[in-house]
Structure 1
């Protein structure tokens, strides 16, 4: 059986971004657990403003859509701007309208873990709620754990969070995405195909 695939999207262009560092920490944990992680941060998500009328897709958009289509789970990380997610990440999520006609559509069946970074916990919680709402609107399964990381949190070059409490929360977030993705794949593998005849004599 192939490894679990995770698409990790980071919505900050800032050099030394704390949200990008937190996302890399989650990605590193997922990789240690055997997952394949596609990390798309900052410049990787610089896309044209979403236009439903255009039929032209940039190379960056095609990479994003391919990563999401292949993913069993998704991690979303954003800095908090005025109580909401970054415009960079919101625009990337708007581009997932291209997944509407997929089977299943959008992020249906995929676990989605959300984290935000903020100086103010209230603003961070507001941004986290908007991330989770967007994930659910895209039919993703937002995992129970959501994390607001303080903008003062330090991370090492080895993608380790220096704050034990924040590190533990990021670990739980990542593990929930992985656990749900594994359970989903197991359920699908055990499902009886329609028309197989199993149970027809009951």
Structure 2
């Protein structure tokens, strides 16, 4: 493969404008970009435009094709979700279900790709169960969850300042560490 910038795709968010999980995914992507990656983001509004996945109807919309092609061509992924009732959001679930379209590829699903996970939830239990659920999905999709998973308890932590910048040093450190892991793993050749 010719030497080219690594491509890292982010997905996640909610219908909530400027959701914390989406902003944190964007922060990880920004760190990856600072390390030389090309990045793309499929945020809550983009995911909301995807119709419900139906394997019986293989005709895809332009939005569906764009997401599938971005994942197909990427070297790493960042998935963010709020914790809803101990699980991840329906928007993220629908987007991941759509990636069933990659089942026939030589590099199926997330095969050999690093996947950073970002969760925001109202409490540590919800953070843990949602992060665990996403790790299970990444394993099922043949991806490699990064050792650093980012979990932000929105009841106890305030990651953002008034200007939107990350102000919590521990969260900023986790973002940087996750981006480093994504980029380091993406640089490796996986067979």
TM bin (shorter chain): over 0.9
1:124 to 123, 127, 137: 127
Q: CA deviation at 1:3?
A: 0.3
Which is higher, the Rg of structure 1 or of structure 2? 1
2:167 to 162, 171, 177: 162
Q: CA deviation at 1:157?
A: 7.7
Does structure 1 conserve the Cα–Cα contact (< 8 Å) formed by 2:117 and 2:150? yes
Does structure 2 conserve the Cα–Cα contact (< 8 Å) formed by 1:24 and 1:159? no
- TM-score, structure 2 as length reference: 0.92
**Number of equivalenced pairs:** 186
Does structure 1 conserve the Cα–Cα contact (< 8 Å) formed by 2:7 and 2:38? yes
What SS does the corresponding residue of 2:85 show, helix, strand or coil? coil
CA deviations 1:47-96 (Å, max 9, x no partner) are 11111100210111111001101100000000111111000001100000
What SS does the corresponding residue of 1:60 show, helix, strand or coil? helix
Q: Does 1:146 align with 2:149?
A: yes
Q: Does 1:77 align with 2:80?
A: yes
What SS does the corresponding residue of 1:113 show, helix, strand or coil? strand
CA–CA separation in structure 2 for the residues paired with 1:126 and 1:29: 26
1:41 to 37, 40, 43: 43
Does structure 2 conserve the Cα–Cα contact (< 8 Å) formed by 1:5 and 1:35? yes
Q: CA deviation at 1:16?
A: 2.5
- TM-score, structure 1 as length reference: 0.87
Q: Does 1:101 align with 2:104?
A: yes
CA–CA separation in structure 2 for the residues paired with 1:81 and 1:159: 24
What SS does the corresponding residue of 2:149 show, helix, strand or coil? strand
Across the aligned residues of Structure 1 and Structure 2, the Cα RMSD in angstroms comes to: 1.5
What SS does the corresponding residue of 1:19 show, helix, strand or coil? helix
Q: Does 1:55 align with 2:58?
A: yes
1:179 to 158, 180, 184: 184
Q: Which runs of 5+ in 1 are unaligned?
A: 189-202
Query: Structure 1 residue runs of 4+, over 4 Å off?
Result: 156-159
CA–CA separation in structure 1 for the residues paired with 2:165 and 2:70: 25
